[in-house]
Amino acid sequence: MEQSSMSAAPERVPTRVAAAQRTRTSILEAAAALFSEHGYGATTLKAIAERAGVSVETVGLAGPKRRLLRAAFDMAFAGSSSAFPAGGEPAYVALTEQLAFEEAVGEYLRVLGSSIARTAGLWSAFQAAADADAGAAALFEEVRQVRRTEFRRTAQWLADRGVISGEQVPGVVQEFFLIASHETYLLLRAECGCTPETFTTFLQARVTRLLGELRA
C-alpha cells in the first residue's frame, strides 16, 4: 500500500501544475477581455474573478492588477504562437529562415499585424493605467522598451542580410515606429475603419515600399 501511495504522488504533481497553469490562463484571458472592454480603472479583481470562474483570492494570488495587465498583454500579444512572445519578433523571423526573403518578411508582418490588432484595447488600457499609477507606468515603460529593442533588432536583421546598410538602421527603426505600432493601428481604425486584415495588408505594403526605396 505504501509503495502504491508513493508511486502515485509524483503523478499528481504535474497534474497540479497543469491545473494551476490553466487557472492562470483563465485569469489572464478574463483580465485581457475586461481591460480591453472597460479599461483599467473600471476593471476590478472581482470582475476578473467572476469572468474567470475563480475566487477573488485566487485572482489576487496571480498578482496586483497592474501586473495582471502586463501579463495579460504579453499573453495576448503572443497569441497561440509560443515562438512569438511579446519580445520575440526576431525569434519568429528566425523560424522563417527556410522561406524566401519576401515570404519570411510577409509572414513576420502578418503575425506582427495580428498581434498589434489583437492587443490594441490592452495597449489603450495600459496607457491609461500608466497615467494614473506610477507602478503601472514603470511596467508600461518596460513594454515600450521591448518594442524599441525589437525594432532595432529587426532593422539589424535586415542589415545583416544586406537588405539595408548599417547606416540606414536608425532611419528604418523610425519608420517601424510610424508603421508598425498600436498607435497607428488605433488611428487607422478610428479614422478609416481599419480591420486587423487591412492593417496587415497596410503593413506589408508599406514595408515592401520602404525596402524597395532603400534598395534603389
SS3 letters across 46-71: HHHHHHHCCCHHHHHHCCCHHHHHHH
Long-range residue pairs from 101-108, CB within 8 A, at least 24 positions apart, any chain:
101/161, 101/163, 105/204, 105/207, 105/208, 105/211, 106/204
113: CATH = 1.10.357
Predicted TM-score of the model (pTM): 0.84
Cα 112 versus chain centre, distance: 9
What's the CA gap between 78 and 126, in Å, rounded?
17
- Within a domain: residue 55? no
- Within a domain: residue 11? no
pLDDT score for 78 = 85
Residue numbers of the domain that contains 109? 64-215
What's the CA gap between 38 and 174, in Å, rounded?
32
Closest CA to 78 of 130, 52, 46, 116: 116
Question: Over its length of 216 residues, how does the chain's per-residue pLDDT go in tens digits?
Answer: 444 444 545 556 678 888 888 999 999 999 999 999 999 999 999 999 999 999 999 999 988 999 999 999 999 998 754 434 444 455 555 555 667 778 878 888 888 999 999 999 999 999 999 999 999 999 999 999 989 988 998 899 889 889 999 999 999 999 999 999 999 999 999 999 999 999 999 999 999 999 889 885
Q: Which amino acid makes up residue 141? A: E
pLDDT score for 101 = 78
| Number of domain units in the chain | 1
Cα 141 versus chain centre, distance: 14
Phi-psi region of 213 (alpha: psi -120 to 50; beta: other; left: phi over 0): alpha
- Within a domain: residue 36? no
Q: CB of 176 within 8 A of CB of 113?
A: no
User: Which secondary structure element, helix H or strand E, spans residue 35, and what is its range?
Assistant: helix 2-38
pLDDT score for 93 = 52
